[in-house]
Amino acid sequence: MSDSLLSGLNAEQLAAVTLPRQSALILAGAGSGKTRVLTTRIAWLLQTGQTSPQGVLAVTFTNKAAKEMLARLSAMLPLNTRGMWIGTFHGLCNRLLRTHHREAALPEAFQILDSADQLALIKRVLKAMNIDDEKYPPKQLQHFINGNKENGLRAAQVQAYDDFNRKLVELYAAYEQQCQREGVVDFAELLLRSYELLARNEILREHYQARFQYILVDEFQDTNKLQYDWLKLLAGRDNAVFAVGDDDQSIYAFRGARIGNMYDFERDYQVKNLIRLEQNYRSQGNILDAANALISYNQGRLGKNLWTSEGAGEPIRVFQAFSDGDEAGFIVEETRQLVRDGVALSDIAVLYRSNAQSRIIEHMLFSAGLPYKVYGGLRFFERQEIKHALAYLRLMANQEDDGALLRVINFPTRGIGARSIESIQSNARLSGASLWQATCAGGGRSGAALANFVNLIERLRRDTQQMTLAEQIEHMLEHSGLRAFYRNEKDGAERLENLNELTNAAVNYLAEADDRSLTGFLSHASLEAGEHQAQAGQEALQLMTVHAAKGLEFHAVFISGLEEGLFPHENTRQDPNGLEEERRLMYVAITRARRKLYLTLAQNRMLHGQTRFNIASRFLNEIPEQLLYWINTAAPATPKAEPAPAWSKPKATGNGLRIGQSVLHPKFGAGVIIDCEGNGSDARVQVNFGPEGVKWLMLEYAKLSPA
């Protein structure tokens, strides 16, 4: 088994997968097979008996990555992965808080607010406190709250040095109280509440530290301060943290990502095992040489140099257009040629630094009749009709959810006007009750309509108690009036299809989930709402920002707008750290391409209603001239999928030792056996000693002892 599991790994991948039980930092370059290394590491630990499925905690940054990891594990081992703790930070924290909701001071059916729901709650708080939302914009307050939570700070812990910030702190405190009153948590709260729970509850913390002996983290360069602190709590002093990341691909500083976590991790855990995965299985040589040369201009890197066993490939094509219209026209014509050469439209991407750049490209594509898709547009769980349906379900699960009530109390319209809603909010505020309680009290001109709404929600709750999740949703869609409303809408057909798809989403969720309740499904919907996933549909050219392109790859890539002030962005001109982040962004863009890479720029460009005259981006000068082919000026001089291995017991050495066993050597220290061969006096073992490397030892003379 171990031979087949480890076959096909290169030397660095093998060393990473078979490391002994020590913390390690795996510096995984773009296209270097990091997902394979992470997954194989887990399979290796399980297959060799070093831990059980319950002893592994694996953290990813998207639900898509978590699902891919679980699918690969299932293919490698005959293993039921359903109960394993593999998921995103938010997903795992949600699971922890559901399990220990009492200790976390949360109701059992607490709901998760996505970004839009959180903003709506903030607006309600401001209105209730008679705060001028022009002086204190809701989005600014949202950013303030989330930023402090991600730094582990409650309102009482935030230091304010002026009247404006003191007011923000006061509003943060009021927001916290409202969330607690309603029994809701935002995304940042999931992590902060989990961290606080583990920090103050020693028994609980020690339980999980004893359980999760192996902690694996993907995309470590994207972790923020609170995420790193949470990991340190779970790791304690003795657990092994296997951190995989790439400091050259750290591009989310604006979202709180802290590249310094990688350097802190090296110091905090005295990491002796720093393994560089530099062999690239995605791109050809010229593309990698360009990326290496560009990123070398950044200072303080951990350092690596991507290479490939494939050839150099084609030079990188550069097109300097007169205008942004000419630039877009070139992209259209070159795309047409690529399609004629047999490249699928979906395997071609146009990347841009700013969303504003897409308009002219979209216009040209539309005029040329080329289908395109803007990647990262409105996602399923964010669509209006889906938000309405989820609000009804949330209210069925938790009647104290004020945000859900406000969304559907008069949708579809049932004669409850704005004044009646304001009256309900006022009564709730004065009596210290929830909006639901105030609605039940009714009264006024809308008294009958309010009573009908209360009866509707109560009836939905009562009638669906014994139904399956899919049946609950179907019942709600029919009896809430949502389906009837969209049937009567002029353009309601697509929205009806989406409502039908919600039922399908519930069925798919039940097939994969541990928590099969309505509350579990609602949590799943909230956690899925922010995922960057392309929509299924017709073959289409992919348009996206460079940020959205992270983690994707394409046969051919156009990087447009390579001009000073646009890429790198003008906001970073005076900030060395900002310029380095822009360079990392360009590095990510370059490494999305497998075979063909185009760099385009325009001498003048229309942006925000003004024509700008531009000079070429410094990034073009940082790429060696011999790698570039200037199209319109005089020119200056994937691995095959491995078959899933069959399950077998760990191979024994014949000397009481087995593959996967931890051992001690008088000279090389602690290691783990990764292979063995021979018998009797000829028996020898291959041992991974971490910083000392992988070594073959004759058992007769090695003086190995079990660790």
- Candidate from 401-405, 559-563, 670-674 with smallest mean pLDDT: 670-674
Residue whose structure tokens are 């983290």: 217
User: Model confidence at 309, in pLDDT bands (50, 70, 90)?
Assistant: very high
Q: Is the four-CA dihedral 211, 213, 214, 220 of positive or negative sign?
A: positive
- Phi, psi dihedral angles at 463 (to 5 degrees): -70, -20
Instruction: Give the model confidence (pLDDT) of 89-98 as tens digits.
Output: 999 999 999 9
Q: Which 3 state secondary structure label does DSSP give 411?
A: coil
Please tell me the predicted confidence (pLDDT) of residue 305.
92
Question: How large is the average pLDDT for residues 596-613?
Answer: 78
CA distance 683 to 702: 11
Is the Cα torsion angle 424, 427, 432, 436 positive or negative in sign? negative
Share of the chain above pLDDT 90, in %: 48
Q: What is the spatial order of strands in the sheet that 705-706 belongs to?
A: 694-698, 684-688, 669-677, 662-665, 705-706
Provide the pLDDT confidence category of residue 649 given band limits of 50, 70 and 90: very low
The band of 188, judged by pLDDT with boundaries at 50, 70 and 90, is very high
Q: What is the pLDDT of residue 644?
A: 35
Provide the β-strand partners of residue 323.
Answer: 604
Upstream peptide bond of 568 is cis (omega within 30 degrees of 0) = yes
Asked whether residue 647 carries a pLDDT value surpassing 50, the answer given is no
Q: For 199-212, how does the pLDDT look when each residue is reduced to its tens digit (9 = 90+)?
A: 999 999 999 999 99
What's the whole-number mean pLDDT along residues 24-34?
91
Pick the closest to residue 105 from 183, 207, 2, 23 (CA basis): 183
In the predicted model, what is the mean pLDDT of residues 230-244?
Answer: 91
**Which pLDDT does position 93 carry in this prediction?**
95
- Rounded Cα–Cα distance for residues 374 and 359 (Å): 11
Per-residue pLDDT reduced to its tens digit, 254-263: 777 788 888 8
- Please identify which residue in the block is written with the tokens 């981006």: 617
Which residues lie below 8 Å from residue 525, measured CB to CB, with a gap of 6+? 381, 390, 505
Local confidence band at 697 (pLDDT 50, 70, 90 cut-offs): confident
The predicted structure's pLDDT at residue 602: 92
Position 634 pLDDT exceeds 90 = no
Whole-number pLDDT of residue 343: 95
Please name every residue paired with 350 in a beta bridge, in sequence order, or none if there are none: 543, 558
Using CA atoms, how far residue 543 sits from 20, 334, 352, 376, 529, in Å, is 44, 15, 8, 9, 21
Question: Which of 477-491, 556-570, 604-618 bottoms out in mean pLDDT, i.e. has the lowest?
Answer: 604-618
User: 237-251, 383-397, 524-538: which range is least confident on average?
Assistant: 524-538
The pLDDT of 380-395, averaged and rounded, is 86
pLDDT band at 638 (very low <50, low <70, confident <90, very high): very low
Confidence class for position 26, pLDDT limits 50, 70, 90: very high
| Span of 497-501, 521-525, 628-632 with lowest mean pLDDT | 497-501
Going by pLDDT thresholds of 50, 70 and 90, the confidence category of residue 637 is very low
Model confidence pLDDT, tens digit, residues 435-458: 998 888 876 677 888 889 999 999
pLDDT, position 555: 97
Sorting pLDDT into bands at 50, 70 and 90, what band is 334? Answer: very high
Share of the chain above pLDDT 70, in %: 91
Determine contact, residues 655/625, Cβ cutoff 8 Å.
no
At residue 521, does pLDDT exceed 90? no
| Beta-carbon contacts of residue 543 (< 8 Å; ≥ 6 apart) | 349, 350, 352, 358, 361, 362, 372, 373, 374, 375
Is it the case that residue 530 has pLDDT exceeding 70? no
Residue 616's Cα: distance from chain center in Å?
A: 33
> What is the structure's pLDDT at 536?
56
pLDDT for the residue 533 = 39
**pLDDT beyond 90 at 700:** no
The backbone torsions φ and ψ at residue 634, rounded to the nearest 5 degrees and listed phi first, read -60, 130
Is residue 654 very low, low, confident or very high in pLDDT (cuts 50, 70, 90)? low
At residue 294, the pLDDT reads 96
Q: Is the model's pLDDT at 608 over the cut of 60?
A: no
Rounded CA gap, 351 and 585, in Å?
11
Average pLDDT over the chain, rounded to an integer: 86
**So what's the pLDDT on residue 691?**
75
Sequence letter at residue 28:
A
Kindly tell me if the per-residue pLDDT of 104 is higher than 80: yes
The listed range with the strongest mean pLDDT (494-498, 512-516, 544-548, 643-647) is 544-548
The alpha carbon of 216 is separated from its chain's Cα centroid by a whole number of angstroms, namely 15
Lookup result for tokens 């359903």: 82
- The mean-pLDDT minimum among 58-62, 426-430, 703-707 falls in 703-707
| Contact between residue 666 and residue 703 where contact means Cβ atoms under 8 Å apart | yes
Q: Which residues are catalytic?
A: 34-35, 218-219, 249, 592
